[in-house]
Structure 1
Amino acid sequence: MTLHLDLLRHGETELGGGLRGSLDDALTAKGWEQMCAAVAEQGPWDRLISSPLQRCALF
């Protein structure tokens, strides 16, 4: 059995900066574009695991 694991970090957030930790800031329009571009022509996936923070969960 082979395991293939894809990791994806969220895109640009409204407050910008570096590591956001548990701060629940939303993605900017650019952040949404970055996320969509990152998964274009990828998948399908059997399972998705996401942070409950809005910048990840809403995507």
Structure 2
Amino acid sequence: MALSNFLLTVAAVGAGFVLLSRDVRRSAVNLRRNLKHVRTWLEQEQASFGSASKHAKPKGG
């Protein structure tokens, strides 16, 4: 009885570890993808501000 309880516990802990490690890996992949999108958006915003400032007329005189 004790041996079967031990084996069930080991199997449950092993399954939990596998599921958790997959979840962590998937979260890391999603985080990298999101950071790539944010970086792209920031670069596009900087480019649009740069082109807008080149076409703007100087104020004054």
Could you state the TM-score of these two structures normalised by the residue count of structure 2? 0.24
Could you state the TM-score of these two structures normalised by the residue count of structure 1? 0.25
Structure number with greater Rg is 2
From the two aligned structures, give the one with the greater helix fraction: 2
